[in-house]
Structure 1
């Protein structure tokens, strides 16, 4: 058999021929089932790389292609069955289910057993082992069986292939997940750079430690053999008042290490219903596994806060959520950053497992002076009565507060068609920010 130019086309044709051969034997067209040989080329397609890296057995490859067929040839199973049952009819041996929106047959574990094993019990059990939770398919999140209702045969569950594999095969890349109910996290990025962020020198040096871990982690765990002794991943706590650079630092770490940063929306994660919080967290960490993402839990107190004494069922389940979260974070092999206004708000069980705890204090006068200079647009002419050192010394503001004031001033001078900022206008903007923060100037 000559190699096909396209491995995926070859595999789909091979699967279709295998199903046809099984059906011909079942309906008496052929005397015996003869599996077809499969030849593939060593190309750089997803399937080509998968075959080289994972080296699946023929049965494993057949299950994978069967799980993909509905995404690539949606009507092929109906067409092959219709060739033998043109008037329709019940064909329970083949398995398969109908979807909610998809009109064709969706293959199940029973479909895989029928196609690859027929009535051979030993071979059917081999297929079942391929689809078990212990198989590398499930461990590496390649494909799995959809759970079925209690009491129904486990193999009647649909074959589910990782949606990211489908994306890579069909559009050639894996897109970032969209924020929503199934993925309560938002991709965040920044156009700023390290020189735009003004931090206390001690804070900055600790951040460099995280950057070094990200860059050298593979060498440490794999080449130096530390993977047997330490847990995967890196866990950090950023704490300090709002607006002191915690979120910006997370984004810059991602930008300069080539990692996507996702901010977790805790309002979408925490649920009043028992067990729902754990389900939401599972979906999040399952999606993030092996992606090397930076997961940023802003206002982390809602999930990582101190556990309470058990007084009622609510306390019991709240503590179970904390324990579950602790387990998932410890197993995550990327970077997890918790952000909180107060270090004391975070449960001690999390604190003990953190590699680093970084304080983001309110900027000191000299740091505020630098922020003022870096933040104001050069297009605005600064009046002589504005002394930035005096402004920085007099008004205790966070970096975010100074940015808000700058934003207001820039809009104000544009609206007045006068690109000049005087002390009176600046003081009015500062007063506005203090009122917004509930403080008195």
Structure 2
């Protein structure tokens, strides 16, 4: 009960810090709106500048918003742009002043920019709204402020602000301003919600109760995994503090290969758990579409959502897309190869850890393998490893029948960790069904028979 109270206090403290920071920013934002109105009405001295209203000092704030401002050294204009994109979700009524209609046209004043939403009845700002508020008719200042919409601006480079491509002929000032859902959650609640599997996000979150130390793998596999562990721990230091950002491509790409049940998915899950990073599994055999261009669109949604989030992307059944490329015999083959090349480029540009998984290394095109930083084998476990998997598999709260010898079973049956867990589950259910208190030898053997039969083998 005490632990729950402590967690609640921590959540409340985070929410309060975020709310206080955003309230201070809102007060500053509203003062800028008031000053712009006064300047336009000519009720203040001609020398008055919109930049006279200084933003609040949030350098000592414990809020997510304050830390972001400090980390990226955002100035007056950047901060105003960011908050303008957020304000419709914080205090939408403060933009109602822009809903006044031009009596000559019957529409919103063109210089205000903005638009109506499909459902939202208030004023949705655009880039023109931002330019009007800070620059009005000052062309030199407007041109300078347009530089903020460069893709290298942290607000866009980190996908904090996002916008859809404009139709041909539309001015850049008509760009709708809105904040990325994940970043808005971080600035307000302090944590981001995890996306659910859908047509717009064809990936499943994979989690485990096991720890990194629970992995039972050969030494050479563990050594390779330690490289991934080290990259997850030190990547930011290497790229930022050591200045390698302009010399090394972002992200890390690796191939896991080995038979089903040898621990590929589990290794990805425990790596994510150790570093507090979500792991999303994409089954390429289900995502790949027979329709030209559809696969690219499906997977682009995953990459777009994962951009700069630190997520680990785990592509299962990688052979379905990154297998040996087809000979170009018709237009469909040509587009399929172009689509694969495009997606490979997205993988190379992704700044997180990308894991491709396959049952067989030789199924993956060698041209793709050369672009990976590591290739890790997950072999069939040896007898000593199988014995440990059997021992760890059964609940410590149950007893094994006296004649059960797990070392003998491990020596006799060459099984993967995934198969062993299935047998453990079967034998445990049989014990509970019989109302007994011990795992029986015959149930373990029957469970093994059932698993072998799945792959066409017998005892």
> TM-score of the superposition, structure 2-length normalised?
0.84
The one of 372, 376, 386 aligned to 1:368: 386
CA distance in 1, matches of 2:182, 2:435: 51
Shift of 1:269: 4.5
CA distance in 1, matches of 2:107, 2:247: 59
Alpha carbons of structure 1 residues 31 and 181: separation in structure 2 relative to 1, 3 Å: farther
Q: Deviations over 1:350-383 (max 9, x none)?
A: 2112222121122233332232222122444333
CA distance in 2, matches of 1:224, 1:93: 46
Shift of 1:403: 0.6
The one of 382, 387, 390 aligned to 2:408: 390
Q: 1:14 aligns to what?
A: 28
Q: 2:166 aligns to what?
A: 148
Q: 1:168 aligns to what?
A: 186
CA distance in 2, matches of 1:80, 1:93: 10
After the TM superposition, which residues 257-406 of structure 1 pair with which residues of structure 2 at under 5 Å, given as runs? 257-266=275-284, 269-406=287-424
RMSD, aligned α-carbons: 2.9
Alpha carbons of structure 1 residues 78 and 191: separation in structure 2 relative to 1, 3 Å: same
> Which moves more between the two structures, 17-26 or 250-259?
17-26
Tell me if structure 2 keeps the 8 A contact 1:187–1:263.
yes
Q: 1:43 aligns to what?
A: 60
Aligned partner of residue 98 in structure 1, secondary structure: coil
Shift of 1:94: 1.4
CA distance in 2, matches of 1:37, 1:218: 36
CA distance in 2, matches of 1:29, 1:142: 36
> Which moves more between the two structures, 143-152 or 352-361?
143-152
Shift of 1:405: 0.9
Aligned partner of residue 272 in structure 2, secondary structure: helix
Q: Structure 1 stretches of 5 or more lacking a match?
A: none
The one of 85, 89, 95 aligned to 2:113: 95
Tell me if structure 2 keeps the 8 A contact 1:20–1:80.
no
Alpha carbons of structure 1 residues 54 and 380: separation in structure 2 relative to 1, 3 Å: closer
CA distance in 2, matches of 1:329, 1:83: 48
CA distance in 2, matches of 1:218, 1:254: 16
Shift of 1:404: 0.5
Q: 1:412 aligns to what?
A: 430
Q: 1:138 aligns to what?
A: 156
Aligned partner of residue 357 in structure 2, secondary structure: strand
Tell me if structure 2 keeps the 8 A contact 1:241–1:360.
yes
Alpha carbons of structure 1 residues 202 and 158: separation in structure 2 relative to 1, 3 Å: same
Q: Structure 2 stretches of 5 or more lacking a match?
A: 1-18
* Aligned length, in residue pairs: 435
CA distance in 2, matches of 1:377, 1:117: 68
The one of 198, 211, 215 aligned to 1:180: 198
> Which moves more between the two structures, 268-277 or 196-205?
268-277
Tell me if structure 2 keeps the 8 A contact 1:177–1:183.
yes
Shift of 1:426: 2.3
Alpha carbons of structure 1 residues 108 and 271: separation in structure 2 relative to 1, 3 Å: farther
Alpha carbons of structure 1 residues 379 and 67: separation in structure 2 relative to 1, 3 Å: closer
